[in-house]
Structure formats: structure tokens, C-alpha cells
Structure 1
Amino acid sequence: MSEKKDYTIHLKAFDGPMELLLHLIEKNKIDIYDIPMAELTRQYLDYLDAMRELDMEVTSSFLVMAATLLQIKSRMMLPKKPKNEEGEEEDPRQELVERLLEYRRFKEVSTVLGSMADMQEHFVSRAPLPLPVHHLPPGNLDLKVLVAAFREVMESREENPAAPAAVVEPEPYHIEDKMEEILQKLRAGKGKLRFDEVFCSGTRSELIVTFLALLELIKQRSVAAKQQQLFGAIVIVMQ
């Protein structure tokens, strides 16, 4: 007959009976799927006796688990019952094993969440601060910006103030025609055109009609005027 092992129980506080059982199983390297109920029950009861000797509070949950262990131990000492319909013998430890496995999974998850919480304590977050508008790239350009850009185009294409040699009847320009002309230029430029390329040629009156046509296209949301950065080039894109 082999000599019986003496197990040393390190008395410490446990949150509940399941944690104590897991501690005893891991400490003695017991296979959780093949628990020696007699030995585990003995160690569990020894721990409860030590708690009473040190005047530690033994809650009802610890006593209920002790009764459960004794019941499982006694059932295992009885003659084996006939096999069930699947041809398997009913193991009295099965319910306890399932509860221990579930508790261990929750314990592992809580450990991971606790580590994440500890790591989060090293960081301080705050709500995003509103940045000054002049630091942000403009979205929809204001009409004043477009008018100022058009004024620069007009100044760079100022007509000769000298009187013409002959009086020529001014050619009529229509906004609808200029709208279609702008769209054709955009299609040719793969949907993108620099602002000054819209006014590459024409008389003063023609350029004004072209500018009005561009404003009408923007109003209809057929095109949009964009500026990638402050004071950058204005680009006309198809919507």
C-alpha cells in the first residue's frame, strides 16, 4: 500500500468555493476531467477546519459546496448504475467538472479584462478640441472667394483700352451655352479643371457670362469648386 501524501494548504482568502476548488486542483496537478473525489473532499474539508480555527468567516456557499463534494464522493462509492440509452455510464462528477470549467473560463476572461483596465489607467483621454477655422482646409468655397479669383483672372486678361479701328457689333453670349461649354471642358479634363482654365480666352463680356454660367452650375450642384489647402489653386470638379 502506497504511503499517503501530506498536502500543505496555504491558507488564504478565496472569493468562493469554486476558486478554492480550482486552487486545490491546480496545486496538486489534478486532472480536472478525472477528479479523485475522496482526496479533493478531504483537502477541502481540511481547509474549512483551518478557517474555523483562525476564526475566519465560513460562508454558506462554502458549506453547500462541502455537502456537494460529500454527496458526489458517496455516490462514487455505491455500485455503478446501469448504462444509459447511449451506452455510457453516468459519472457523478460530470456536473461539478462542467461548473469548474465554466468558472475557469470566466476567471481567465476577468484576468484579461483586468489587465486591459490596468493598462488603460496609464492613458488620459479628452474630448476633441475645436480647431480654428483658418487652420482647416476649406470645404465649400464662399462666393467671395470665387469672385476674388475671377477678378484676378479679369485683371490678367485686361483688354487693350485703346479704341478699336472699327466698330464691331458685340456677339451675344448665353449662359446656357457657356454652361455646356464648361461641362465639355470638364469631360475632356476627366472631370477636373483649374479655375483659370475655365476663362482661358474671350472678351470681357464673354468671361463675365462664363463666370455666371459657372455659378449656375455650382448652384445646380452639377459642379463644385474645391481648394485643397488655404490660398491654394481652386479646382472645378464634376459632381
Structure 2
Amino acid sequence: MNLIVPTLEIQIESYEGPLATLITLIKKNKVSIWDVPIAFITERFLEYVELIKEFKLKIAEDFIDIASLLLFLKSRMLLPTDTTGEEEEETEEEIVQRLIEFEQMRNMATTIGNLPMLNRDIFCRGKDSVEGEVDYDLLLLCKVFFDVITRREERYITVSEIKPTLEEKINMLKSVIDTAGIFVWNIDDEEEHREKVATILGMLELTRTRVVTLTQKRPFGKIVMKKRGEVSPLVSGNG
């Protein structure tokens, strides 16, 4: 069988390895992976190994591993037929299987590499151009700022006068106590909020001045105010 000897083309820095070399030899000689002429391929492979050894010993180590297998197969072929057995077949199948797996992975890598890649085949839209800086007059900016400040709508808070006043409420409570002697007040009674606040403050003030006593059996329950004794003078304006 006449085989074509391929032109030796090796790029040492980017060479893929011994399996790629074997596949290259097989393809250039148009031989099936399952029908590899071991003797001839071994010779061609060793030529590649010798060349690579001259350039880079570390790369040659991987090639020597495959070369040793090829030489083993070649030596087995020189032995009588009846001495060969399953060991030779297993070694040949090992090389063939490694070649097939390597070729499959290389094909998948090529397929993935051909997919559109960001920043290589596909590019994102760039950022909008930034307008140049504008030089504004500082005095003009200050004028605009003060114009905005003066144009702001002024907000006013209306505070309603509390009616009755605390003094008026104290006098009312004192009048009730002087007349009835007791005053019962419930926070739930229908009164305006301001009225309730004035009532509570009035009762507390009368208690502070020891005019009345306050009793409440439970939180937020009814408050009972009773006259204690003679009314102490109240100072107007002490609220």
C-alpha cells in the first residue's frame, strides 16, 4: 500500500499534541481510523517526535507516550501470528478510542468557537456621547438660585385657639365640685379633642393643688373626681 508522506508543517508554540498529529497523518493519507497502518504511521510519527525534541523537550514527552504505544504495536506485528492475542487488540483499540474521543472534542470545540461571541462577532451598543462641559457664570447661577428660593410658595400653619382655656376649665370643674362634691368623667364621652385635653389638664391641676382626689379603677376607664377639702388658691396662667 503506497501512502502519501505529508509535508512536515509544525508550529511548535501552538501545536495541539500527539493525538492531533496522528489524526493529521491519518487524514492526509486518507486512511480510516479503524484501519490504521501501524508500521507506516509509527515511522511518520517518530519523525515528528524527533523534530519536536529539537525544539521543546516538554512537548516531546507527550509525543513519546504515544510513540511508545505505536512501537509496541509494531513490535507485536513482527512476532508470529499465534503469539499475538487480546493484549495487542486492546492496545490498538485504546489508541483508536483515544483518537475518536479527541476528534469529537476538537469538533465540538470548533463548533463552539464558531458561535457568535460577544465583543468579537456581536457588539453592545456603546454609551451615548457625553456632551462637553459648559462654562456657566457663577453670578448667573447665584441669581437663578435666589430666584427659585423667592418663588417658592410660602406655607403657613394655622394654630387654632384652645377653647376653653385651661383657666376656664379649672373654674368650671371647681364649680361642679363645689356644687355636687363629685365629678365623673369618661374619655369616651362625645367631646371635641380640645375639650378633652382641657378637662384632663384641669383635673390634674386641681389634684396637684390638693383640691380634689382622682380615682380610676382600670386604664382608660371612668375617672371619679371628689372634693378633698377647702380649695387652694389657683394661680392664673400656671397651666
TM-score with structure 1 length normalisation?
Answer: 0.43
Query: RCO (CA 8 Å, sep 6+): is it higher in 1 or 2?
Result: 1
TM-score with structure 2 length normalisation?
Answer: 0.43
